[in-house]
Structure 1
Amino acid sequence: MQQQPTDQALLDLLNQGDERGIELIFRRYYAYICKAVYKIIPDSNLVEDLAQDVFYELWRKRGRIQVASSLKGYLRRAAVNKALNYVRDQRIKFTEEEQAPVQKSTEASAPELMAADHLQSRIDEAIDALPERCRIIFILSRFEDMSYREIAEQLEISPKTVENQMAKALKILREMLKFNPGKEA
């Protein structure tokens, strides 16, 4: 039985421009990266595209990449950032367009869909308005189901900092999303 190469050996191959490096990294981590992206964007086709983009960028930047901790952690962070950037870019795109994306539901009425779209827009805007650190920690906690300890390890900060940032994020979101009958039409 042949022993699997270490992540460092794979990175060495990658840095040497050896295509086997990216191929082996892809095989080892593709499913893992897809799962990480799917927790943020539950669209299988889009998940595959974004995951492939992560590996494409890894290959493209192969001579300049510095993996400080683990390859798995590096790829996860790259995938989460890719997904968050996609979500951000799509929100910008939809606000620039005259039409929102078409909802595929026959059960909800038009007013219900409009109310749901409006609420989702308010939530998205509130999350986007969070300070960067709060936003990242909030998304990792709520959309990736990571524990405070896991987030602290991933971001190389203390669990107490994660706890404080989550409390801050939740306070800001509650304030921004507070129902105000005088403002809502």
Structure 2
Amino acid sequence: MKSSETDITFLNRLNSRDHEAFKQLFREYFQDIAYYSSKILKDTDVAEDVAQDVFIRLWEKENHFENYLALKSYLYLSARNSCLNYIKHHNIVQEHAQNLVQEETDEQTWNTIVETEIISLLSDYIRHLPSECAKIMELVMQGYNSTEISTLTGASSSTVRSQKQRGISLLKKMVSPELYALLMLFLQQNN
């Protein structure tokens, strides 16, 4: 113990979950545990978070320390384990982020942009359809199937199917053959 209080008296107070004893331990060892953690993590902010978590877990868990060495061992081992867990978690997050970046190729990005633009263009045409037909076609473009559209709108399945066919037929007359072909491809992918 850094203070003049005897180890046994202090440990008895700490083991009985005396709040003042815990605060004294925190004041005396927080910086040591944070420094130790920063040497492992190479990040003082995270190290301070780890040190704080060590003391929170100590307070939340019922521990019984026989001697002062057991208490100090607990603090340092808890800090070490927390640092290793942080590093492991951080590495998994980094690996996942790297995989996402690798998966997102330029071609995929381009395809997504083109698909978005086509959907936007078709949505503009769909807004010019009769209102009931337009509402159903918007839901079709959002990827809903006939049953889901029927549930969402309250229209019967046959009404949904007929409005969908009507919308496709009207769009065929409104858009270029190329855009119509893309509409049909999109609808096939979402069915």
With normalisation by structure 2, the TM-score equals 0.45
Greater helix share, structure number: 2
The one of the two structures with greater contact order (alpha-carbon pairs below 8 A, sep at least 6) is: 1
Q: Highest CA radius of gyration, 1 or 2?
A: 2
With normalisation by structure 1, the TM-score equals 0.46
